[in-house]
Amino acid sequence: MRPKVLLLMILLIGCSGGEVDFARSLAVPQPADVVLRNGKIVTVDRDFSIKEAVAIKNGRFIAVGSDRDVRPLMGPATRVIDLGGRTVIPGLIDSHIQATVAGLSWDAELHWELNRNLADGLGQIAAKVKSAAAGSWIVVGGGWVPTQFAERRFPTRAELDTIAPSHPVYVQYLRQGALLNSAALKALGITGKTSDPVGGKFERNPSTGELTGWLQGVAGWEYAYSKIPRLPLDRIRQSLRNCFRELNRLGVTSVGDLQTTGVTFAHRRLLADMARTGELTLRLNFYLAPDDPGDELEQIKRGAEEVSSLPQGDMFRFVGFAETLVRGIGDGDVLSNPKGITIAADAKEKFHQMARYFAETGQRFHLHASQDNTARQVLDVLEQVHAATPFAPQRMVFAHLEDATPDTIARIKILGGGIAVQDRLALTGERYVELSGLAKARSAPPLRAMLDAGISVGAGTDAFRSANYSPMLSLWWLVTGKTVAGSAIRDKSQNVTRAEALRMYTIGSAWLTGDERRKGSIEVDKLADLAVLNADYLTVPEDQIRSLESLLTMVGGRSGSAVRAMRMGEFAAKNAKYAKRNRICRGNPLWLPFRCGCYQWRQ
Report CA-CA distances (Å) from 437 to 148, 376, 421, 481, 491. 22, 21, 20, 16, 13
For helices 265-277 and 233-249, give the axis angle rounded to 10 degrees: 60
Under the banding of pLDDT at 50, 70 and 90, the label for residue 28 is: low
Max Cα–Cα distance, the chain, nearest Å: 122
Q: Is 319 exposed, middle or buried (0-12, 13-18, 19+ CB in 10 A)?
A: buried
pLDDT of residue 586: 31
pLDDT of residue 581 exceeding 80:
no
- Percent of the chain, pLDDT > 90? 82
pLDDT of residue 23: 43
Residues 444, 490 contacting (CB under 8 angstroms)? yes
> For 190-250, what is the HEC assignment?
CCCCCCCCCCCEEEECCCCCCEEEEEEHHHHHHHHHCCCCCCCHHHHHHHHHHHHHHHHHC
Tell me the pLDDT of the chain averaged across its residues: 89
Pick the residue with more confidence: 22 or 184? 184
Segment 276-299 mean pLDDT? 93
342-368 as b/e, with b when 16 or more CB fall inside 10 Å? ebeeebbebbbebbbbbbeeebbbbbb
pLDDT of residue 247: 98
- Where in the chain are the domains? 3-90+534-599, 106-225, 233-518+527-533
Q: Does domain 106-225 have CATH number 3.10.310.70?
A: yes
Residues 300, 290 contacting (CB under 8 angstroms)? yes
Under the banding of pLDDT at 50, 70 and 90, the label for residue 16 is: very low
Segment 527-540 mean pLDDT? 98
pLDDT of residue 12: 38
- Percent of the chain, pLDDT > 70? 88
pLDDT of residue 261: 85
pLDDT of residue 113: 97
Segment 19-46 mean pLDDT? 78
pLDDT of residue 17 exceeding 70:
no
Rounded Cα gap, residues 536 and 551, in angstroms: 12
pLDDT digit string (tens) for 206-255?
A: 999 899 999 999 999 999 999 999 999 889 999 999 999 999 999 999 99
Among candidate residues 110, 96, 79, 97, the one with its CA nearest the CA of residue 552: 79
> For 544-582, what is the HEC assignment?
HHHHCCEEEEEECCECCCCCCCCCCCCCHHHHHHHHHHH
Q: Which of 82-91, 176-185, 442-451, 588-597 has the lowest mean pLDDT?
A: 588-597
> Which CATH homologous superfamily contains domain 3-90+534-599?
Urease, subunit C, domain 1 (2.30.40.10)
pLDDT of residue 198: 93
- Please enumerate in sequence order all residues whose Cβ is within 8 A of that of 576, keeping only pairs 6 or more positions apart, or say none: 597
Segments of 226-381 assigned E as strands:
252-259, 283-288, 316-323, 365-369
Q: Please, what CATH class does the domain formed by 233-518+527-533 belong to?
A: alpha beta
pLDDT digit string (tens) for 291-331?
A: 888 899 999 999 999 999 999 999 999 999 998 899 999 88
Altogether, the residues listed in the chain come to a count of 603
pLDDT of residue 2: 52
Q: Is 560 exposed, middle or buried (0-12, 13-18, 19+ CB in 10 A)?
A: buried
pLDDT of residue 560: 59
pLDDT of residue 594 exceeding 60:
no
pLDDT of residue 576 exceeding 90:
no
Rounded Cα gap, residues 488 and 481, in angstroms: 6
pLDDT digit string (tens) for 47-105?
A: 999 999 999 999 999 999 999 999 999 999 999 999 999 999 999 999 999 999 999 99
Segment 339-362 mean pLDDT? 94
pLDDT of residue 561: 41
pTM listed for this prediction: 0.89
Residues 360, 389 contacting (CB under 8 angstroms)? yes
pLDDT of residue 381 exceeding 60:
yes
Question: What are phi and psi for residue 323, nearest 5 degrees?
Answer: 75, -150
